[in-house]
């Protein structure tokens, strides 16, 4: 390892591929070269674009890489370690493909891909985690599988027939299983030990707002008084307002501790005005009288309505 900087990259890559993938090395090397070649064709700044909008993520890309990964699995069939390594590489490919399935493959059956993702991801979790962490990760996997089986998640009645951008938990950075959530998981703000919220925070009125990082500008916001919060402990829709979503606009709530970026709704070169709605649930005695649950704020879904295409006001 000491002399790695002085050695040619090609030789090191071959050394790794041969050792890690065994007989599957030629197919996996072609997979690497193809992926790098497709990435090189785009001028996107990947950290500023939602992965589902990367230009090379098209049907041709997934058809090609899955063909190569199929070849690699066959070649590695006699070597359990190499086969495991190939199967692990399929996890991010299958996740991305399932997340965009309707756009890529329409009505085609995705059950086999879901089963493969569940098997490979489950094996990886069992290899890398133990105890409570393994249990938590397996619960998340179950939620992921449930989402992929349910997608596309039906739109609420008030958004049907409109041009919308739909944000579910794969668009959130922080998520936990929640059976009440539209897709089985939600962004949760609970207590200080978990995420930074304090009892004093939960005593404040609940505010939901928009902030534009690119333009350093506050967008619309709403404040829901405690007396106006439904007492059923369920998710409810709140219209935050209309704002031209830029490449770094986020929705915040929970005392600014929940921040969900709306980047995938950005349509360059000009920001398009979008009517922003958030599905939010609150629990606990600070919000619901005599509640025995933990004080918490949940967001399970955000829907943006394209005001120009939908005629919304």
Between residues 286 and 127, which one has the greater pLDDT?
127
Least confident stretch, 21-25, 27-31, 66-70, 290-294: 290-294
* pLDDT tens-digit readout, 133-163: 999 899 889 888 988 888 888 999 999 999 9
* pLDDT tens-digit readout, 61-78: 999 999 999 999 999 999
| Number of independent structural domains in the chain | 2
Q: Do residue 182 and residue 238 come from a single domain?
A: yes
Q: Do residue 71 and residue 211 come from a single domain?
A: no
Q: Do residue 37 and residue 85 come from a single domain?
A: yes
Domain edge (last residue) among 109, 125, 150: 150
Domain edge (last residue) among 150, 174, 195: 150
Q: Do residue 103 and residue 174 come from a single domain?
A: no
Between residues 80 and 288, which one has the greater pLDDT?
80
Domain edge (last residue) among 135, 150, 165: 150
What is residue 313's predicted lDDT score, i.e. its pLDDT? Answer: 45
Q: What domain range is 109 assigned to?
A: 4-150
DSSP 240-293: EEEEE--TTEEEEETTTTEEEE-GGG--SSSPPEEEEEEEEEEESTTTSTT--S
DSSP 209-249: EEEETTTTEEEEEEEE-GGGS-TT---EEEEEEEEE--TTE
Q: Is 123 exposed, middle or buried (0-12, 13-18, 19+ CB in 10 A)?
A: middle
Q: Do residue 293 and residue 161 come from a single domain?
A: yes
Q: What is the mean pLDDT of the chain?
A: 89
Nearest to 283 by CA among 266, 296, 274, 267: 296
Q: Do residue 256 and residue 301 come from a single domain?
A: yes
Q: Determine how many CB atoms are found less than 10 A away from the CB of residue 267.
A: 16
Q: Do residue 33 and residue 50 come from a single domain?
A: yes
* pLDDT tens-digit readout, 117-137: 999 999 999 999 999 999 989
Nearest to 209 by CA among 266, 265, 255: 255
* pLDDT tens-digit readout, 204-258: 888 999 999 988 999 999 999 888 888 888 999 999 999 999 888 999 998 888 9
Peptide bond into 203 cis (omega under 30): no
Q: Do residue 213 and residue 274 come from a single domain?
A: yes
Which residues, 6+ apart, have CB-to-CB distance to 217 below 8 Å? Answer: 211
Helix, coil or strand: residue 161:
coil
What whole-number distance in Å separates Cα of residue 49 and Cα of residue 47? 6
């Amino acid at each position: 390892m000491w002399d790695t900087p002085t050695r040619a990259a090609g030789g090191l890559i071959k050394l790794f591929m041969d050792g890690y993938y065994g007989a599957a090395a030629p197919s996996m090397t072609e997979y690497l070269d193809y992926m790098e070649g497709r990435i090189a064709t785009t001028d996107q700044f990947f950290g500023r674009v939602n992965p589902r909008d990367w230009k090379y993520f098209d049907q041709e890309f997934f058809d090609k890489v899955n063909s190569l990964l199929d070849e690699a699995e066959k070649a590695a069939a006699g070597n359990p370690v190499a086969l495991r390594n190939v199967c692990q590489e399929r996890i991010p490919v299958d996740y991305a493909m399932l997340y965009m399935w309707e756009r890529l493959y329409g009505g085609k059956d995705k059950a086999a891909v879901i089963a493969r993702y569940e098997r490979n991801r489950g094996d990886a979790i069992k290899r890398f985690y133990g105890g409570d962490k393994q249990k938590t990760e397996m619960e998340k996997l179950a939620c992921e599988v449930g989402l992929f089986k349910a997608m596309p998640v039906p739109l609420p009645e008030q958004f049907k027939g409109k041009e919308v951008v739909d944000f579910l938990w794969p668009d959130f950075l922080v998520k936990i299983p929640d059976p009440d959530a539209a897709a089985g998981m939600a962004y949760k703000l609970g207590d200080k030990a978990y995420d930074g919220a304090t009892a004093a925070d939960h005593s404040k009125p609940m505010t939901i707002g928009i902030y534009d990082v690119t333009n350093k500008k506050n967008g619309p916001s709403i404040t829901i008084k405690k007396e106006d919060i439904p007492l059923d402990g369920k998710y409810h829709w709140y219209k935050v307002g209309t704002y031209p979503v830029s490449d770094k606009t986020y929705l915040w709530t929970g005392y600014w501790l929940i921040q969900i970026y709306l980047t995938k709704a950005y349509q360059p070169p000009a920001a398009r005005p979008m009517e922003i709605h958030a599905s939010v649930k609150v629990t606990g005695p600070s919000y619901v009288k005599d509640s025995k649950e933990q004080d918490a704020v949940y967001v399970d879904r955000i829907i943006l309505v394209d005001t120009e295409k939908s005629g919304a006001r």
